[in-house]
Amino acid sequence: MKVEDVLRLKTVSDPRISPDGSRVVFVVEEMSIEKNRRIKDIWLVRTDGGEPNNLTEDGESTSPRWSPDGESITFKSVKDGKPAIWVLDVEKKSRRFLTEYNVSNASLGETGEDLAWSPDGTIIAFISSKGSVDKKSTINVYDKATYRAAKGFSDRRRRHIWVVSPLGYTQPKQLTYGDYDEHSISWNPDGKEICFVSDRTGEDEWSFHTDLWAVSVKTRSIRRITETLSAEFQSAWSPDGKRIAYGAFKRDDMCNDSNPEDKHIWIIHSNGT
């Protein structure tokens, strides 16, 4: 076995089946000798087999998510060297730019979806951090215990929920605010709310007490769904919107990078009872 053999290895990840079940998109990661770096593209293949087709061909694309009608995917790539969200017509392979986004380097432990279509396909929700980091600065001020062994010091840019039209040409709308991180989004089947995970204790640098919350897309009002001393994770609504399934622990004291307990599946009424 030679070095060249290793460079030819490809990794397949993030498979997503189309709404009608006939196709699947997935990410292929491989090493590009010409570019001297790893590249990622989104590929399409029929679920009954056949020849895969590279949809993006830019070496920068990840996170494909089908539109409810199965005609398009939204995905992450770059625009002018900056992280960006796009929509691509699967048949025509034509793409349109939606918005740029940022993600902080804060370590949040296990997270779920950060890019999702509304059930009717008229809105795309995504997670982004507001603000930028001055990488040229020689002075940094840290006022909280935000160091993580795998990440270093956090840039303290909070993750929030945003929505944008898949048609493009409009500015994204921010739904959540404050000194909290929101992540792991899932749409209510009625399209009126987005469930998310957040630690809103104000002591997230010391504790790990995430709960499920829901934000109204229209009014931006936020309501609490779970209230425990443990940690909740990504959620999934029942088709009728009356219940929510999610992962969680039984223990009260946890941390976000080394959990002494296996997760369990829980179900709660979506009104919080």
Q: What is the CATH number of the domain that holds 92?
A: 2.120.10.30
pTM: 0.90
Better-scored residue on pLDDT, 239 or 209: 239
* Cα(167)–Cα(30) distance, integer angstroms: 31
Work out the end-to-end distance of the chain between its first and last CA atoms, rounded to an integer number of angstroms: 59
Token pair, residue 258, equals 């080394």
pLDDT band per the 50, 70, 90 thresholds, residue 132: low
Taking 3-state DSSP, the helix, strand and coil percentages for the chain, each rounded to the nearest 5, stand at 0, 45, 55
* Cα(122)–Cα(242) distance, integer angstroms: 22
* Cα(2)–Cα(196) distance, integer angstroms: 46
Q: Exposed/middle/buried for 98, CB within 10 Å: 0-12, 13-18, 19+? A: buried
Whether residue 51 is found in the same domain as residue 154: no
Whether residue 89 is found in the same domain as residue 107: no
What average pLDDT does range 58-78 have in this prediction? 97
pLDDT reading at 108 higher than 60? yes
pLDDT band per the 50, 70, 90 thresholds, residue 101: very high
Token pair, residue 221, equals 């009002």
Residue whose token pair is 């005609």: 71
pLDDT reading at 145 higher than 70? no
pLDDT band per the 50, 70, 90 thresholds, residue 144: low
Of 3-7, 205-209, 212-216, the range with the highest mean pLDDT is 212-216
* Cα(184)–Cα(50) distance, integer angstroms: 33
Residue 156: the pLDDT is: 74
Whether residue 173 is found in the same domain as residue 255: yes
Whether residue 118 is found in the same domain as residue 202: yes
Q: Tell me the CATH number at 223.
A: 2.140.10.30
Residue 186 and residue 114 in contact, taking contact as beta carbons nearer than 8 Å: no
Question: Is the four-CA dihedral 85, 89, 90, 95 of positive or negative sign?
Answer: negative
Which structural domain, as residue segments, surrounds residue 256? 103-273
pLDDT band per the 50, 70, 90 thresholds, residue 96: very high
Whether residue 122 is found in the same domain as residue 238: yes
Residue 149: the pLDDT is: 56
What average pLDDT does range 250-270 have in this prediction? 83
Of 78-92, 129-143, 244-258, the range with the highest mean pLDDT is 78-92
Domain-ending residue, one of 63, 79, 100: 100
Decide: helix, strand or coil at residue 5.
helix
* Cα(272)–Cα(183) distance, integer angstroms: 19
> How much is the mean pLDDT over the chain?
90
Token pair, residue 72, equals 């398009």
pLDDT reading at 137 higher than 80? no
Helices (H), the chain: 3-7
- CA nearest neighbour of 111 among 246, 226, 202, 223: 246
Whether residue 180 is found in the same domain as residue 134: yes
Domain-ending residue, one of 46, 77, 100: 100
pLDDT digits (tens, 9 = 90+) for 161-206: 999 999 988 899 999 999 999 999 999 999 999 999 999 988 877 7
Domain-ending residue, one of 73, 100, 127: 100
Q: Which residues sit opposite 247 in a β-bridge?
A: 265
Whether residue 181 is found in the same domain as residue 95: no
Whether residue 244 is found in the same domain as residue 137: yes
